[in-house]
Structure 1
Amino acid sequence: MHSSADPLQRPQQSIYSNGLRVRLLPLLGSSQAAALVRVHAGSHDAPSTYPGLAHFLEHLLFLGSRNYSAVEGLMPFVQGCGGQLNASTRERHTDFFFQLPAGQLEEGLHRLLDMLAHPLLAPDAQLREREVLQAEYLARAQDAETLCDAALGRAANPDHPFAGFHAGNRGTLPVEDAAFQQALLGYHRRFYHAGQIELLLAGPQHESVLQRLAEEMDAELASRPAVPRQAPPLRFNAGAWFRLQFNNAQPRLQLAFALDQLPEQAVPALDYLCAWLASEAPGGLAQRLRETGLCQSVKLRTPYWYAGQGVAVIELSLTQRGLDARAVVIDAVLDWMRFFSGDERWQPCREEYQRIRQRNLQNAEPLARLRHWIEPQAWGLDSDEAAIQQALVSLTAQMLGSTPLVLTADKSHCEPIETSGFPLRLRTEPPQRTTPADWHWQQPATNPWLKPNTIRHEAAPIPPALRRQGPEDMSGQGALFLRWQLARCQPSTAMWHTVAHALQPAVWAAQQAGVMLRFENFGSAWCLRLEGFAEAIPAILSDIVPVLTVPPAAAFTKGNSLAERDAALSHDEMLIRQLLNQLPRLLAGSAAADAQPADADPASLSRLWQSAQWQGQAIGFAPSLNGALSDATRALPGTPAVRPVARSKHAALKRWHDLSGSSVTVETALLLFCPLPDHTAKCEASWRLLARVTEADFFRRLRSELQLGYAVFSRFCQFGEHAGVLFAVQSPSASAEEILEHVERFLCDSAAKLANQSEDVIERAARQAADQHVASKADFRAQAEQAWQCLQAGHELDRPAEVADAMRMLQRHDLAAALESLRGADAGWVAVANAPPPDLSWS
């Protein structure tokens, strides 16, 4: 077995005795470990008689296995460790993956292996989970991308699986029928065995330990050879124009290309093309189209790809002008592709692309590395550049050699059509014509932050408002957090949108340079986060300060329109995610948070910055960067805070924010945030533990047993200075009032369960939570996040250790008191929903 700790080195694959394909990534010094299993079978491999069977099986695997009940399985285990997990069923493969504290990797793998090899597939669980898939189907029936792909499928040759419906719903999953059960078991037997599975492991364990874990999985999985799978040729009704009615705020234009018989290196070639199509670099396609007022953004996605054939979709978010001149937009895109595919573009663009991938891999978490390397031809130091260039020639030749299928999604009226899957309002329309233009494309500008030329000042004094925390150099990573406390009166959301929009090109360029840039709105405070490659952060901050203080005039126009759009819920994004995006601002507590304030303008923004006070937290910067960091922070708008800014305290009120407006949505979503009643370490410790021990029960009760919907979770959260427990549900069947009643009933039942819980169970959970609460010195991201949370909440940096110590002392009566305080809304409740409050007890 050969592997490497070098993040740029492709891990070699080994095939074990039963046929399991394995790649190992030892990560020296990491506190986290990750696993990714790819089963080479997906929705297109399921019997056409039962659309959605593959997706259904993916769900069922989490609901109990031979050695682990649903309560003891992978999902509650990873959640209990504070980790992350998910699964995804694609057209020709299904992925299962998780990341958790390194010491828990073996336990997590045992659960993953057991659910893959020995699922229970209990009939009652199938009936319940079918309702979850029905809820997911209804939600996806409101999703723009899903409906666009369904519309594109109607243009494909009907004998190809891409033309079919594969999501599954109540009508396609007859779990009561013996024939369906036979098909379900047959699909599992055919594909869930060692010969059809890949395993990738990453962690700080010695390579021999990772190898032993992989061998155990290989030995436990059934030994059968890989299943040969074919796909018929893929063709499109090329040149056709379709119109899809979708009441989203932003019109979409999609250019779809059917690709076939491409070499295997077409996968990295497609990723390379995708990077440059979406590029926000000056002189690039997106910027030129935005400057001409035709489009807001460009991206390339592949809703289907398998064995050298696939569907590539160039998606453009259009302005009204672009909607009226779609033929001009299409001409620009195709003309740019002809320019980009020229030989003279390859070398400079390829070098830039390599720097981007290199930087991103160097800063990637274990799971992100696995998700990169699971693709066989993903970029690495050993990539065959000549073969990729040749594949790019073949790829662009196919795309430019055929007329794309054109799909426009907007509010134009279309009659519903007969479908066996997602409901569509779709019609054909005559193609638009235009006179080809010469766009005079130029080589896009290089990203200066990929090769920062940091001036090495002598160590300069850092403003006292910026707190420093070690380690001084964490493998080249750094994090800088800045928080501006704004004037008592909340600024308009239009003002924040103006600055956020002006920063968008910087967000994109920073991400390329291995730095995550986020500008967040917490109502009475604005926050800027820069995390990643430390050497680039001072340069990025210096370059964006002028954008923060004096955004271009166009940003004010866009900011005002975005604020208007914020007032109405959109179909472009999942409903519960839209409510989560609004929650931090609404927690500020002012009644003005619900209002739609005045438009943004330069004078108002200038006054806002003049009255703002800022504080900051820097972690991971070597002393050699002090000068650059000092220069960048001294130029910040606002006044450095000489003493900690006072944090607000929640009033014991029940506040309800109805975001429905005039929007009509099929589903209901509710967020219930219960803030901490006081700021003591013991209070935080007890509420954190309470959230941890009830998280899996909440998910199981409301999602699996009550089948309210597929978007259900609860957890301890901190939004800016506000910490507490969050409950979240999106449901296609229950009203906001009914969801709230279910949450309250769950809390009541939790009190009864807690009263009967043994002290040993509580003390063991408290010890485990305490041991995992303080971020490991090897986990830079977790360290930085805890430092940032301390700053926002007004705590000292030793707060996590205080909370961990308090956790170790917790007993059952402490959790009972915390639950009673939460149920009694001692610090108030904040509800956010797309519905009015259920009664007059809410303000």
Structure 2
Amino acid sequence: MHGVSPSFSAGRHRLRLRNGATLDVAQQPWAERAGICLRVAAGSHDEPVAYPGLAHFLEHLLFLGSRDYGPEQGLMAYAQGCGGQVNASTQARHTDFLCELPAERLQPALARLFDMLCRPLLDSAAQLREREVLQAEYQARSTDADSRIEHALGQALAAGHRCGDFLAGDRASLAVEQAAFQQALHGYHRRHYQAGNMRLTLVGPQSPEDLLAIGEALLAQLPAADSPTIGESPPPMLPLRAPRLGLQQRAAALHLGFAVQLSEPGLASALALLLDVLQDPAPGGLLAGLRQARLCRQLRARVLYCHAGQCLLRLDCTAAERGAALIAELLGWLRQVRGDPAWPVRLADWRQAQALRQFGMGPLALARSLQDAEAELDDARLLHTLSALLAQLAGGTGLIELACDNQARPPWPATGLALPLAALPARELPAAQLSVGLAPVESLLALPEAASPSLPLARLRHHPGAAAGGPAALHWCGEVAGQHGPGELQALLQARIADLQRGCERLGIALQLEVQPGGWSLALQGAAALLPACSARLLPLLLAPPTEAAEPATSGLLLRQLLQRLPQLGGGDSDGGLQGLSVGLGPGERAQLDALFAVVEPLPAGQPLAARNHELLWREVEQPGSEAALVLLCPLPDADAGREAAWRLLGQLLQGAFYRRLRGELQLGYALFAGYRQVQGERALLFALQSPVCEAAGIFEHIHAFLDQQRQRLAALSVAEFARCRDELAQALRPPKSNLARAEQLWQLQLAGLSEAHPQRVRQALAELTPDELQAAYAQLLQSGHWRVLASGPGPHV
């Protein structure tokens, strides 16, 4: 081997290679896919000050062709072709490249990843095109409320710290035509994209030895740098230059920040423990006290920056009133809990929650999580760091208060984006009144006391788990009485379960709630022992008649908001009552679940959906902002397995072309999707795009034109290419082996009214599919009279 012997800790295996690269692997025997996270230890704060956005720009360019793989043979196309996913993210001090795909495709994917990172083409024409993509991203981020709040918090820090810069990059800062910019771009790549700056994490079903061998074989090929990259120490965050700020923004809100400078080991772990306790809604804790005093309803805390002993925290205070009193109580709580003897108990609970979260993660999420994990400290050292952190926070020297309102503010000059922002005068805080400390630890393992059969009827079906084990899954759907619209009902139910959802997710229970007209569906995934108790607490909240007023939904990426509302376009009809399906529960957990209900009946097979013959349905969803977004749903006309096989293959063939045409060539937007999906009970082809340059009607016309143009391409598809794509899809449609994949398949079949034998019929039909049948299916798609659209604006000719 090229490196030293790996160390083994809690299922994680680490190897440091002689060229300086680091490799971490973890095995998930139940996984069917492999997760890749390659982290380069350089980000936006490492780029030249003269060119804001250069690091983000380079991240984009790396996907546009390398020495051995052109754009159509590179990682993005390869992963999409086998049903995988690819993403990347540029942060302040690192850049992540992420991929998840079938486990047997791991080595070819890594070969493409390393070629694009180390030998990119950086073609000048591609740079000009991609700059327009970043310009669109810049426009979206510069108007996004969340991004503006984070940028405003950065203005409070000491002058010169790059957390105060807006580093998205736009046409003005990315001067690709200038020789000096090109020199800076290539120099940044040479300096930072080298072995000593790279850390690879791999997660998959392969043995740790196999994962280490695969990763090492590729990492070892990277040459060591001539001289190691030594990152400069960041300038100080403190003292603050503007502790109180006012930001002009439509929605009134209070946001708090904390700047911390602390040279103690384990700072990130201490922060994670503190934020876990800070947001705990259990009786006796800070949040419960603030609610009782009517100071705020929710606290959301997150780390915006953590590097070299510095960190910047953000706290969002939902429905905050009397901001000075709230801040006083927060500081008082920090002082009070510093010496609380219950911290060792909370630490043990937090460590257990961490282990459960990792157990419930998929391969990609776990690969990313391993990147953030620090070297583990013993309890005494970690509690020492926590005490030092609490002391600094309670002192208030790093406290930032950001008040958002609609009061006019002058432009505040800042790198990358000027904000309507002003410094506010200091003020005296009242004395803290609450007497709250650390909330006691609560267990979700125990069923609630009122869990005697209080739910009258459930139709349930249980399936055994996979031999390899792993997380279990539980799906529910139910009805809700009342006249609420889907958007209002989603917000109402989400608010009801918010505290429980937080408790579930901190223990690794992934929870997804979707609302459709007249009902809801809920998916739970995680440790089997937790699912009955989670259900016992959640179901009564979801089934109770809605009487309270719904909170307004939080904003976010416009296209993501539309995709979340997709169930409104689905055609599934509920069979009535409460229905559930489990995979991977043991006999004891099944008995616990059955005992929740007065009556338990077998879940009947669903009925196939009736064909719908209406014309184009256009549903407009008004959304604030200057950009437009559209989702087009093209449902299959019937339940025929052969037709589904053809449409699935069409989805695979169209997704890469859709990305190249609408994003690369037309540069309509940066957020887009194309592929085969099931929405509630309806199987369909789905196309989605968000654009800063085109209205909703124009997006629809572009998608329609794209589909028309693809007719020629499909007709010219060679026999070899057709066979290759069909074989790739056949691999993706293999019978699922994991509990989660099996549960998802069974639930989708139930919603669509299809038998458990249907997937086998689709695989058989795919094996017999011919190019002529594929073209006939495409003609049927284009001639369909029942397309459905969810859009942010009116349709054509309206």
TM range (shorter): over 0.9
Deviation at residue 89 of structure 1 after TM alignment: 0.7
- SS of the counterpart of 1:425? strand
Does the 8 A contact of 2:641 with 2:762 survive in 1?
yes
Deviation at residue 485 of structure 1 after TM alignment: 5.5
- Distance in 2 between the 1:475 and 1:372 partners? 21
- Structure-2 residue corresponding to 1:158: 159
- Distance in 2 between the 1:365 and 1:441 partners? 37
- Structure-1 residue corresponding to 2:713: 753
- Distance in 2 between the 1:796 and 1:525 partners? 23
- Structure-2 residue corresponding to 1:449: 444
Does the 8 A contact of 1:264 with 1:377 survive in 2?
no
Does the 8 A contact of 2:458 with 2:577 survive in 1?
no
Deviation at residue 496 of structure 1 after TM alignment: 5.2
- Distance in 1 between the 2:597 and 2:523 partners? 13
TM-score by length of structure 2 reads 0.93
**From 612, 615, 624, the counterpart of 2:588:** 624
Closer, same or farther: CA 632–242 of 1 in aligned 2, 3 Å: same
**From 724, 742, 749, the counterpart of 2:684:** 724
- Structure-2 residue corresponding to 1:228: 230
Deviation at residue 229 of structure 1 after TM alignment: 1.1
- Structure-1 residue corresponding to 2:392: 398
Which consecutive residues of structure 1, in runs of 5 or more, have no partner in the other structure?
A: 591-608
- Distance in 1 between the 2:116 and 2:287 partners? 45
- Structure-2 residue corresponding to 1:765: 725
Pairs within 5 Å for 1:297-446 = 297-317=298-318, 319=319, 322-323=320-321, 325-377=322-374, 383-403=377-397, 404-446=399-441
- The Cα offsets for residues 608-653 of structure 1, whole Å up to 9 and x where unpaired, read as x9x94233211111223232121124479xx987663664543332
Does the 8 A contact of 1:614 with 1:641 survive in 2?
no
- SS of the counterpart of 2:170? coil
Which residue identity lines up with residue 581 of structure 1 in the other structure?
Q
- Structure-2 residue corresponding to 1:737: 697
**From 506, 515, 530, the counterpart of 1:512:** 506
- Structure-1 residue corresponding to 2:246: 243
Deviation at residue 414 of structure 1 after TM alignment: 2.5
Closer, same or farther: CA 576–423 of 1 in aligned 2, 3 Å: farther
- Structure-2 residue corresponding to 1:142: 143
Does the 8 A contact of 2:267 with 2:385 survive in 1?
yes
- Structure-1 residue corresponding to 2:621: 659
Which residue identity lines up with residue 584 of structure 1 in the other structure?
P
- Distance in 1 between the 2:621 and 2:278 partners? 35
- The Cα offsets for residues 25-60 of structure 1, whole Å up to 9 and x where unpaired, read as 233343221221111111111111111100100000
**From 519, 522, 525, the counterpart of 2:516:** 522
- Distance in 1 between the 2:219 and 2:602 partners? 58
- Distance in 2 between the 1:284 and 1:731 partners? 44
- Distance in 2 between the 1:732 and 1:427 partners? 29
Does the 8 A contact of 2:480 with 2:544 survive in 1?
no
Does the 8 A contact of 2:269 with 2:374 survive in 1?
yes
Which residue identity lines up with residue 706 of structure 1 in the other structure?
L
Which residue identity lines up with residue 790 of structure 2 in the other structure?
V
Does the 8 A contact of 1:117 with 1:220 survive in 2?
no
- Distance in 2 between the 1:539 and 1:787 partners? 23
Deviation at residue 154 of structure 1 after TM alignment: 2.0
Deviation at residue 376 of structure 1 after TM alignment: 4.5
- SS of the counterpart of 2:300? strand
- Structure-2 residue corresponding to 1:596: none
- Structure-1 residue corresponding to 2:179: 178
- SS of the counterpart of 2:297? strand
Closer, same or farther: CA 514–648 of 1 in aligned 2, 3 Å: farther
Which residue identity lines up with residue 559 of structure 2 in the other structure?
I
Which residue identity lines up with residue 431 of structure 2 in the other structure?
P
Which residue identity lines up with residue 464 of structure 2 in the other structure?
G
- Structure-2 residue corresponding to 1:502: 496
- The Cα offsets for residues 78-133 of structure 1, whole Å up to 9 and x where unpaired, read as 12222222111111111112111110000100110100110011111100110000
- Distance in 1 between the 2:173 and 2:260 partners? 30
- SS of the counterpart of 2:565? helix
- Distance in 2 between the 1:589 and 1:804 partners? 24
Deviation at residue 343 of structure 1 after TM alignment: 3.6
Deviation at residue 2 of structure 1 after TM alignment: 5.6
- Structure-2 residue corresponding to 1:715: 675
- Distance in 2 between the 1:581 and 1:298 partners? 24
Deviation at residue 469 of structure 1 after TM alignment: 1.9
- 1:113 pairs with 2:114: yes
TM-score by length of structure 1 reads 0.88
Between 442-451 and 519-528, report the one with greater CA deviation.
442-451
- Structure-2 residue corresponding to 1:599: none
- Distance in 2 between the 1:125 and 1:234 partners? 38
Closer, same or farther: CA 5–76 of 1 in aligned 2, 3 Å: farther
**From 575, 597, 609, the counterpart of 2:558:** 575
Deviation at residue 549 of structure 1 after TM alignment: 3.9
- Structure-2 residue corresponding to 1:686: 646
Does the 8 A contact of 2:11 with 2:27 survive in 1?
no
- Distance in 2 between the 1:832 and 1:183 partners? 43
Which residue identity lines up with residue 131 of structure 2 in the other structure?
R
Closer, same or farther: CA 375–11 of 1 in aligned 2, 3 Å: farther
- Distance in 1 between the 2:542 and 2:581 partners? 19
Deviation at residue 188 of structure 1 after TM alignment: 0.5
- Distance in 1 between the 2:711 and 2:312 partners? 52
What count of residue pairs does the alignment treat as equivalent? 789
Does the 8 A contact of 1:4 with 1:26 survive in 2?
no
Closer, same or farther: CA 436–3 of 1 in aligned 2, 3 Å: same
- Distance in 2 between the 1:293 and 1:685 partners? 56
- Structure-2 residue corresponding to 1:603: none
**From 798, 802, 814, the counterpart of 2:773:** 814
Deviation at residue 691 of structure 1 after TM alignment: 0.7
- SS of the counterpart of 1:730? strand
- SS of the counterpart of 2:341? helix
- 1:540 pairs with 2:534: yes
- Distance in 2 between the 1:616 and 1:453 partners? 20
Deviation at residue 68 of structure 1 after TM alignment: 0.7
Identity of aligned residues (%): 35
